[in-house]
Amino acid sequence: MSMHPKLKVFTDTLEALFHKVDEVLESRWGDCFPLHPNRPKRNETANPEMDGLFEIAPDFTLGIGSRQGRGYLVSCRVATLERVPPEQFETFMDAAAGIIRDKLPIYFPDRQLDVIRDGKGYKIIGDFSLGDL
């Protein structure tokens, strides 16, 4: 499947941002729960989403039913068989949202993007335009 070159740059940059978020979460809390037996240890794969305790990724949504509209949901999974208390999961999500909020101007200096609470999760909203084609 082909992708517009400007969209490729945007998605690659977003992926790099989320890899940074994963790195920070793993450093801070990567050993607070035992890893799922089928999950590779941190840094054992080329993609941080596929190893370690955290799987954090952006998921685009059109925002149907959301007052905030379209954007990228901050998707987070903790790869463990143990029960993660809701308040601990919320701590992980709050930290991830804070890191993203702090790093957005660095990764996307020419865009107006923000992280907002949308329902039970967080969403990146703002300028997703590709500019002049």
Within a domain: 10: yes
- Determine contact, residues 121/93, Cβ cutoff 8 Å: yes
Rounded to 5 degrees, φ, ψ at 124 are: -90, 125
Within a domain: 47: yes
Tell me the pLDDT band of 132, cut-offs 50, 70 and 90.
low
Residue 46's domain spans which residues?
5-126
- Rounded Cα distance between 67 and 50, Å, is 32
Rounded to 5 degrees, φ, ψ at 83 are: -75, 125
- Rounded Cα distance between 91 and 83, Å, is 15
Within a domain: 88: yes
How many domains are contained in the chain? 1
**pLDDT per residue as tens digits for the range 38-95:** 999 999 998 888 999 999 999 999 989 888 899 999 999 999 999 999 999 999 999 9
Within a domain: 132: no
Instruction: Return the pLDDT at 77.
Output: 95
Within a domain: 49: yes
Within a domain: 109: yes
Instruction: Return the pLDDT at 101.
Output: 97
Q: Is the model's pLDDT at 21 over the cut of 80?
A: yes
Within a domain: 81: yes
- Determine contact, residues 124/104, Cβ cutoff 8 Å: yes
pTM of the model: 0.91
Amino acid letter, residue 56: I
Q: Is the model's pLDDT at 106 over the cut of 90?
A: yes
SS3 category, 42:
coil
Within a domain: 131: no
Amino acid letter, residue 77: R
